[in-house]
Structure 1
Amino acid sequence: MKTVILTLCQWFGLFSLAKKMTARRPRILCYHGISVDDEYQFSPGVFMRSSTFARRMALLAKWGYKPVSLDELYRQNQAGQYGKNTLVVTIDDGWAAIEHGMLPALKKYNFNATLYLSSYFVINQRPVFKLSCYYLFWKYQGPFTLAANSCLTPYTRLQQLTVNDVLALAAELGSAYEQPILAELAAYFGEDLASWQHSGKLMFLTPEKVTALAARGLAIELHTHRHKFSELNLTDAQTELINNQRYITQLTGKKAQHFCFPRGEYQQQQLDLLTQQQLKTATTTENELVSKHDHLLTLPRLVDNDKVSDLEFEAELTGVMTLLRSATSLLKRGG
């Protein structure tokens, strides 16, 4: 039904009309990682095929968009009015495969882009533990049968473990156990972690790659050190920001001035921490166009992923979906 409605809107020229009506509402696009294998099937909200991303960038170029930096977005805000058709491309986390899966398309069209980097996973070069566990159990449909010499045997009476059992034990035992546990899981299910590290599967960029990409013009901004924020108290949240800033400065030689909330979540009182750090903007994952009334520290983004069709992408980008959501909200209030 959604496809039919959007197709009709497109046929009747509503896409073009919506684009004109929302021309001064900036679009901030949100991307995450690039799939090197079947990750886009496992978690399409996080991992996109490089072909999908390349097609999206081609569509932006075709439709006349020229992505600008977050600094330019901030400048427009401070000038009192956003420019027409302002668009920003942002990438969350720092997954290794973005280098070969996103940068070529960005370079082809000379597009600006920002990477919100979680520095812990860059400094600690190994597959991201929690996501890797979920991936292995998804792919091989568990359960995980413990060997007699398993590092987990002394800590559980269970013989067969689900992914939740494994993650609960890992949380209890601490991060030092994560790599041995993942190595056991990979061996049990027949996966080669060395090949993962070679291909960048479920891995983050190396420190050297971050430095090189920053030198090539990719803006590197804050995403906390360990991808934790909303669940933390103010002291720990501040530590996350300080550590993240320290590592980014070491890697790029620049002080980051923009922030992205992990998972788009925050506590209201945490916004003061961003002000104290003199940050210019912060973004969420609220799926919407930017309004002149939006606070610079809680900006919405259009979250793109591999399950979104080109038609849906265009509907979001032109503002059709924004207008439809507004109309639906008015009807509900009127009812």
Structure 2
Amino acid sequence: MCAPQTASGLTGTSWRNEAVVRRLLLKISRACGLFALSRRLTAKKLRILCYHGIWLGDDPLFAPALFMRADTFARRLALIERLGYPVLPLAEAVTRLYDGTLPSGAVAITIDDGWYGTYLHMLPALRRARMPATIYATTYYIAKERPVLNLLVRFMMNRSLSGQISWTALFPAASADRQVDLADAGARAAVADELNRRLMAIDGIDARWAEVVRVADLLRFDLGQVSDGRWFDLMTEKELKAAAEDGFAIELHTHKHGLREFDRALVIDEVQENRRQLARMLGGDPGDFRHFCYPSGRYRPEVFPVLRALGVNSATTTVFGLNGRDAEPLALRRILDHESLTELDVEAQLSGFWGFLSRLAAVVRFRREA
């Protein structure tokens, strides 16, 4: 449920177009010892890795900034171990960052949302590697035990690649009709946007699910294997509790995965309901949950006093970077790992060299534009 990382200056369209040059540069830089130098210079900074889910569906991989393959995640853990980065629980890592006792090159692993694929593949891989991790759990879909509908809708339209359908068949209340060419990616995206907008206006998860089923039938899209395979499901309450009992930290990610416009009352309601639900699911006191991840990584500084008043000790974003002792604890940076990154990319990011390269690229762009 998170947008791809763009703060590094080496992502997006230019990231793809310059991939070969960039990787050659990274290989040369590593061979010249610049990764090792960067690692020494950033030794006391905290590296927080960000993951989401494992793709459980068929090929091609859907939403590669959100989902990765199980074997890719296992290789990432092996890379961390091979490079000798110590992995700490998030709460301990944050405490030790600010009291100055963080071990050299410390890493914390965070996993957003609480996907079923996380439970099925990531947690066993972490147990085998003997690495701790924090799961930021958004609780609405866990409690309802329904697929995450906005992503399911986008997937459904992504895979409906042929034929035409009328707009009023899709949306009977529409005032004007037109034909939708399903071979047109833009047209499919427009349908997904409109359907998700209309779903938000429907009361109740069961009614929203029924609407998704209706549209899937119109598109002749088989929801069976998607539902049976739980491709877009979060963990159940039982699975989340099992994860906690296995020693994985469960922390805050709002109840409905949203902080629209960062309205103060909404922020309070979302965090407190998230806490109440987690306490109900896992046992314990709502106040036990003190670490937070902003939905989709987006935040505003004006929310910091609200979170502090709620007793939140740390909050993570998807802004790229490492964290020093001067980092704002309610705007911690992370390294968003995803399927399209190579091991060389991840090594560069962990070492701190990627950040140096990003700052250099920003300086070059600024001078060109000046």
Moved more, 189-198 or 66-75: 189-198
Q: What's the counterpart of residue 57 of structure 1?
A: 77
Instruction: Work out whether 1:296 is the aligned partner of 2:329.
Output: yes
What is residue 161 of structure 2 aligned with on the other side?
A: 141
Asked whether the equivalents of residues 160 and 221 of structure 2 are also in contact (C-alpha less than 8 Å), the reply is: no
Letter in 1 for 2:281: L
- 1:231 is paired with a residue whose SS is helix
| Counterpart Cα distance in 2 of 1:209 and 1:115 | 12
CA distance in 2, matches of 1:330, 1:69: 35
Aligned to 1:220: 250
2:172 corresponds to:
153
- 2:66 equivalent in structure 1: 46
The aligned residue for residue 137 of structure 2 is 117
Give the match for residue 11 of structure 2.
none
Could you tell me which residue of structure 2 aligns to residue 256 of structure 1?
A: 289
Separation of aligned partners in 2, 1:144 and 1:211: 45
Counterpart of 1:181, as a letter, is E
Q: Report the TM-score when normalising by structure 1.
A: 0.92
Is this contact kept in 2: 1:225–1:241, CA < 8 A? Answer: yes
Separation in structure 1 between the aligned mates of residue 332 and residue 60 of structure 2, nearest angstrom = 27
**Contact between 1:287 and 1:300, CA under 8 Å: does it hold in 2?**
yes
Inter-partner Cα distance in structure 2 for 1:266 and 1:18 = 29
String of CA shifts for 1:267-291, please: whole Å, max 9, x gaps: 2221112101111110000111112
Residues 43, 105 of structure 2: 8 Å contact kept = yes
Whether the aligned pair in 1 keeps the contact of 2:98 and 2:325 (CA below 8 Å) is: no
- Quote the Cα distance in structure 2 between the aligned partners of 1:262 and 1:159: 35
Deviation at 1:160, TM superposition (A): 4.8
Residues 26 and 289 in structure 1, CA contact (< 8 A), matched pair in contact too: yes
Identity over the aligned pairs, expressed in percent? 28
Matches within 5 A, 1:278-297: 278-297=311-330
Q: CA deviation at 1:174?
A: 4.3
Determine if the alignment matches structure 1 residue 235 to structure 2 residue 255: no
> Contact (CA 8 Å) 2:167, 2:177: kept in 1 or not?
no
Q: Alpha carbons of 1:42 and 1:310: their partners in 2 closer, same or farther (altered >3 Å)? A: same
Distance across 2 between alignment mates of 1:300 and 1:230? 21
How much has 1:17 moved relative to structure 2?
A: 1.8
Amino acid at match of 2:296: R
Find the counterpart in structure 2 of residue 66 from structure 1: 86
| Matching of residues 55-134 of structure 1 within 5 Å | 55-134=75-154
CA-to-aligned-CA distance 1:163-217 (integer Å, 9 cap, x gap): 2332333334445542112112333444443433332201111111111111011
Rate the CA distance shift 1:187–1:333 in 2: closer, same or farther, 3 A. Answer: closer
Tell me if structure 2 keeps the 8 A contact 1:230–1:266. Answer: no
State the match for 2:240 in structure 1.
210
